[in-house]
A and B are shown apart, each in its own frame.
Chain A
Amino acid sequence: MPEILDQARTQVLENGVGLDEAGVLAVLNLPDEHLPAALQLAHEVRMRWCGPEVEVEGIVSLKTGGCPEDCHFCSQSGLFTSPVRSVWLDIRALVEAAKQTAATGATEFCIVAAVRGPDARLMKQMREGVAAIKAEVDIQVAASLGMLTQEQVDELVEMGVHRYNHNLETCRSYFPNVVTTHSWEERWETLKMVRESGMEVCCGGILGLGESVEQRAEFAAQLAELDPHEVPLNFLNPRPGTPLGDRPVVEGKDALRAVAAFRLAMPRTILRYAGGREITLGDLGTRDGLLGGINAVIVGNYLTTLGRPATDDLKLLDDLKMPVKALSATL
């Protein structure tokens, strides 16, 4: 057994203290033959500190495309020649999407907008949309609307948005290679305000943007310092027309190493499989991840791309005897 896994068994599994950056890097550098042991340990950590439940979430894009920012992975930036056109979802369709999500047994519904931060029109749409969902659908509402002002944070709390997603996307040292229209520190500011407001903080990122293995470890350590309630882990799905459109996808084993390493860095967080898992890991990857530290999934489609049918994921959870987290458990 590699030394790092022995150390993690005591430190993380028994004492609940996450690995630091050097420890995460050691896990990310484990040779293939030790990957199963790393995943097994990460799974034990998740079971011990989070339990067997899996949090199921659906997401929808309220405002798609035409974003003024230049995140190099994103097909919704208006600065690239991506084929994604700008479009708004109306309230009726938003409520319908929440209903479809609730019908899968999901407890979380996240409303996302491709913006630098909300303007008055978006906040109005949110106010009406969240109220309509709360009136008709039994589901918790989360939001992801970019960078916020303090007033907007307060408004979202007032609307009853219980969790806010704002991804740091990648580590601080690599961020300027991925985004030039705003800084990592600006994102951190929004996260601080969200944290102080009492909303749950959801913050993760994308692997495979060209960052080094060391920078992946740096990212895990920075997320651990933030200590978010939830960490969505995406793998780059290279989008036509974006600056990262020709990047190779993350190799399956590296993706799984990252799953184990991020879990060992953050034993108590909700670690969610988000976009790109189908491309990077194929059908089997979802199973491997759920047995390697993942305890939450996005079911159904993503914002501009499609996912596996929700029923496939739900059947898998059933096969693995992992109960879907119930709404009563989250309230």
Chain B
Amino acid sequence: MTVTELWCDRCGEQAAAGGHEPCAAARALEPPRYCAHCRRRMKVQVVPAGWSAVCVEHGEIRG
């Protein structure tokens, strides 16, 4: 199944609503906070050389 990115992973609002350019810019220096598939707030751990973010439904992503 392909999951589509419905939500902005920074502000948690609908991706299709637009206006997320500032979010995209901020994301250069921030990990994601919301799951882009389901809008749940993720458990995010930042470490010196990376980060991980976990959605209970959609699993872990890393950066």
Contacts and interface: CB of A to CB of B under 8 A. Distances in A.
Interface string A47-79: 000000000001111001000000000000000
B13 to A, nearest CB: 11
B49 A85 contact: no
A178 interface: no
B49 to A, nearest CB: 4
**Interface-centre pick from A59, A61, A104, A240 (highest chain B CB count, 10 A):** A240
Interface string A155-186: 00000000000000000000000000000000
A101 interface: yes
Interface in A295-325: 299-307, 310
Contacts of A104: 48
B44 interface: yes
A109 B45 CA distance: 17
Contacts of B50: 301
A243 to B, nearest CB: 18
Contact of B45 (A83, A87, A279, A299): A87
B30 interface: yes
Q: What's the dominant secondary structure at chain B's contact region?
A: mixed
Interface string B4-32: 00000011100000000000000011110
Interface residues of B, number: 20
A85 to B, nearest CB: 5
A64 B41 CA distance: 14
B44 A58 contact: no
Contacts of A240: 10-11
A100 B47 contact: yes
A85 B43 contact: yes
B29 A279 contact: yes
Contacts, number: 68
A84 interface: yes
A219 B31 CA distance: 32
B29 A100 contact: no
Nearest to B49: A100
B36 interface: no
A64 B51 CA distance: 13
A310 B47 CA distance: 12
A302 B46 contact: yes
B45 A100 contact: no
A132 interface: no
A279 B28 CA distance: 11
Contact of A306 (B31, B34, B41): B31
B11 to A, nearest CB: 7
A305 B33 contact: no
Contact of A97 (B11, B30, B31, B48): B48
Given A93-B45, A306-B29, 7 more contacts: A64-B44, A84-B33, A87-B45, A304-B30, A305-B30, A306-B30, A306-B31
Interface of A: 58-61, 64, 83-85, 87, 89, 93, 96-97, 100-101, 104, 240, 278-279, 299-307, 310
